[in-house]
Amino acid sequence: MQIDVILGLQWGDEGKGKIVDYLANDYHIVARFQGGPNAGHTLKFGGNKYVLHTVPSGIFRPGLVNLIGNGVVLDPIIFQRELRALEQAQVEFKSRLLVSRKAHLILPTHRWLDAASEAHKGKAKIGSTLKGIGPTYMDKTGRNGLRVGDISLPGFRDLYESLKTKHLDLLKIYTPIDFDLAGEEKAWFESLDTLRTLPFVDCEYYLNDALRQKKRVLAEGAQGSMLDIDFGTYPFVTSSNTITAGVCTGLGIAPQQIGRVIGITKAYCTRVGSGPFPTELDNPIGEKLRQEGMEFGSTTGRPRRCGWIDLPQLKYTNILNGTTELCMTKIDVLNSFAEIAAATQYQYDGREQDQLPYDLCSTSIEPVLRHFEGWQCSLDHVQHFDQLPRQARLFLEAIEQYLGIPVKMVSTGPEREKLIVR
Ligand code: GDP
Ligand code: IMO
Ligand code: MG
């Protein structure tokens, strides 16, 4: 068997959680492969809304195994809070939520370092979610990190103290900021007891065995391809590989075992935090997109920046991911627009181009827009692709044609059932 992948093609918040939850019933296992609690994946069904940060979005499907892979960075305090919310929602998970021993732990001092580093950057700040993601991945690649499996070692407390001491030394280079280390540390050690109640696995063995046994596995991406550490709008990115390649390193899967790659894009585009965004609309149209799309962060509540869909950008992330099919979310957000637009080229260096420049941060680029007529009606009744208004179909078909990849799913609302599968 091959492993299918769902990931975001833009700057995150494309609606990955909703689509993973929808498709999960076709799978035996859903696995997160990178990122950490910087993610906020929203699921809506049965009149309730759930936001998941660490737990994979297949958890609400009874019997399904959910796995947190080695590529993930895990904050046990946030994780414990998520598990309590699941208990309150009467979701049974104890035997079917597995954690890779090789996933790295976010320490309280990682969060402190994240906050101090961002404060130090001033105007140049990344706009991090301040969950300690950057410092934790720095310790991973610097070979100093602590992993989930380490909490079973007799010398774990010493390992913790040694890393904490290093962090306290590092913090001296920054302007001091308030942080209740004693309180956070107490909560952190208490939360490890909750973590210990879950099964730990060597996910590379677990998943490859599962694939051999013909189990169907879905990998759930976090963030978006434009936030990828190598290919995103560096330095305004996250600290992991968010693209398909991250599935291999974040779960222990060989490249030839990747099957479908379902790339998710909104019908427009958003980004939260700092950094370049070529099609951003810092005007009433952008504000309308924000209000209609309720574009406020699932993790931090920050208003998201909004703009038109950017086709050269999507072409770029499709190359990186080997996207085999597209899913377009939030098309309903455009319902009341008389006219919508999509960037088809960029104007920079004196000519029109369809490739992203080396450094979007220092190149002034103007998107070249193609305009489309809006449909100006509700899509609530639409259950089949053919029932979409003509204008919406033309918009979707133009995007398919430009990108050369079929749009296999269209999401028309936040609720689980609001999805057209072609
Ligand atoms: P994720 O991080 O990619 O899982 O996305 P988020 O959950 O952070 O943000 C997506 C937001 O859009 C959430 O509030 C979803 O409930 C909502 N959403 C998802 N799909 C649709 C859709 O098709 N239409 C509308 N209006 N909202 C949607
Ligand atoms: P999901 O999975 C949108 C952004 C932050 C910031 C940058 C770095 O919900 O799509 P970090 O905390 O990783 O150091 O922040 O990346 N960012 C996200 N933006 N959705 C996310 O996750 C994000 N995770 C991180 O806003 O600009
Ligand atoms: Mg999100």
pLDDT tens per residue, range 170-197: 999 999 999 999 999 999 999 999 999 9
Give 392's contacts (C-beta < 8 A, 6+ positions apart): 331, 375, 379
Rounded CA separation 121/118 (Å): 5
> Each residue of 92-114: b (16+ CB within 10 Å) or e?
ebeebbbbbebbbbbbbbbbbbb
Given CATH 3.90.170.10, say whether it is the number of domain 265-421.
Answer: yes
CA 111 to ligand 1 center in whole angstroms: 26
pLDDT at 314 over 90: yes
Of 160, 244, 200, 213, which is closest to residue 69 (Cα–Cα)?
Answer: 200
Q: What is the pLDDT of residues 339-384, one digit of tens each?
A: 999 999 999 999 999 999 999 888 889 999 999 999 999 999 999 9
Q: Which two tokens stand for residue 185?
A: 């540390």
Query: Which residue's alpha carbon is nearest to atom 28 within ligand 1?
Result: 414
- 290 with 302: CB under 8 angstroms? no
Query: Which residue's alpha carbon is nearest to atom 19 within ligand 2?
Result: 12
Backbone φ, ψ for residue 368 (5° rounding)? -95, 120
* Upstream peptide bond of 62 is cis (omega within 30 degrees of 0): no
Query: Which residue's alpha carbon is nearest to atom 14 within ligand 1?
Result: 42
**Could you report how far apart the first and last alpha carbons of the chain are, in Å?**
23
Place of tokens 């599962």: 210
The answer to whether the 3-100+200-261 and 104-195 domains have the same CATH topology is: no
CA 276 to ligand 3 center in whole angstroms: 19
Rounded CA separation 347/285 (Å): 21
Rounded CA separation 254/249 (Å): 9
Determine the topology of domain 104-195 in CATH: Adenylosuccinate Synthetase, subunit A; domain 2 (1.10.300)
Ligand 1 pocket test, candidate residues 22, 42, 129, most atoms within 8 A of CB = 42
Of 380, 378, 422, 372, which is closest to residue 398 (Cα–Cα)?
Answer: 372
Which residues are designated catalytic? 13, 41
Band of residue 119 on the pLDDT scale cut at 50, 70, 90: very high
How much helix, strand and coil, in percent to the nearest 5, is found in the chain?
35, 25, 40
Backbone φ, ψ for residue 207 (5° rounding)? -75, -40
Q: What pLDDT shows up at residue 363? A: 84
Q: Read off the DSSP letter of residue 256.
A: G
Q: What is the pLDDT of residues 376-418, one digit of tens each?
A: 999 999 999 999 999 999 999 999 999 999 999 999 999 999 9
Q: What pLDDT shows up at residue 298? A: 80
Q: What pLDDT shows up at residue 301? A: 87
Rounded CA separation 130/256 (Å): 35
Sign of CA dihedral 152, 154, 158, 159: negative
CA 35 to ligand 3 center in whole angstroms: 12
Ligand 1 pocket test, candidate residues 330, 334, 409, most atoms within 8 A of CB = 330
When the pLDDT of each residue in the chain is averaged and rounded to a whole number, the result is 97
For residue 274, the ligand 2 atom closest to its alpha carbon is 27
pLDDT at 63 over 90: yes
Rounded CA separation 86/84 (Å): 5
Measured CA to CA in angstroms, residue 241 lies from 31, 40, 169, 294, 419 at distances of 15, 17, 29, 28, 28
For residue 38, the ligand 2 atom closest to its alpha carbon is 24
pLDDT at 80 over 90: yes
The residue count of the chain comes to: 422
Which CATH code fits 3-100+200-261? 3.40.440.10
For residue 294, the ligand 1 atom closest to its alpha carbon is 14
Rounded CA separation 10/31 (Å): 21
For residue 114, the ligand 2 atom closest to its alpha carbon is 14
pLDDT at 297 over 90: no
pTM over 0.95: yes
CA 296 to ligand 3 center in whole angstroms: 10
CA 182 to ligand 1 center in whole angstroms: 37
* CA dihedral of residues 159, 161, 164, 168 (deg, nearest 10): -140
Q: Is the CB of 127 under 6 A from ligand 2?
A: yes
Taking residues 223-240, what's their average pLDDT?
A: 98
- 164 with 69: CB under 8 angstroms? no
Q: Where are the domains of the chain?
A: 3-100+200-261, 104-195, 265-421
